[in-house]
Amino acid sequence: MLIKNSLAYAITLSFCLSLPAQALPSLSHEPFGDLYLFEDEMPNTLSTSNDHQLSLSKEHAKDGVQSLKWQYQPQSTLTLNNEVNYQDDKNTATPLTFMMWIYNEKPQSTPLTLQFKQNNQVALSFKTELNFTGWRGIAVPFRDMKGSATGKLDKLVITAPDQAGTLFF
């Protein structure tokens, strides 16, 4: 889930609470960014380095009744092919922030790597630890990520850790 500021988060939360999750599309293009809910179908903007690893699942769900299940092999990738309108906000009080939920079945000793790309080049990136089980909220301001960017980001590439495992989003 991508949310740019706290006002957008509040609007999204109230929107999500006002409708049953099953009534919402799997991918919603909101003014602040794309919102993935995985309730209806697999969005065609998602791909993996090994296609059979990605499915919709009712095993664990944060919003609604199902989530995206990624059964990954070491160093495999999950790609979200969506444009993100990036703005340099280093001087603002409410920074643009990338947010998502991850459910981890088994703690891993190496991190998940997230890379925002422009023209297939890494513009911004960060790592997040997977040393937990259950749900974990991830929120990283773009200004706190490694790298620099201007304009639109083309895609987000998530690289799996060094061990095989399963994550839910």
Average pLDDT over residues 111-124: 96
Residue 19 carries which DSSP code? S
* C-alpha to C-alpha distance for 64 and 126, rounded to whole angstroms: 28
Instruction: Yes or no: say if 42 and 23 are a contact pair by the CB < 8 Å rule.
Output: no
Interval 15-45: pLDDT, tens: 343 333 443 445 555 555 556 667 777 788 8
Q: Residue 21 has which token pair?
A: 């999750």
Average pLDDT over residues 70-94: 84
Interval 132-169: pLDDT, tens: 999 999 999 998 999 998 888 999 999 999 999 999 99
Asked if residue 65 has pLDDT above 80, the reply is yes
Residue 138 carries which DSSP code? E
- CATH number (2.160.10.10, 2.60.120.430, 3.40.120.10, 3.40.50.150) of 43-168 reads 2.60.120.430
pTM comes to 0.77
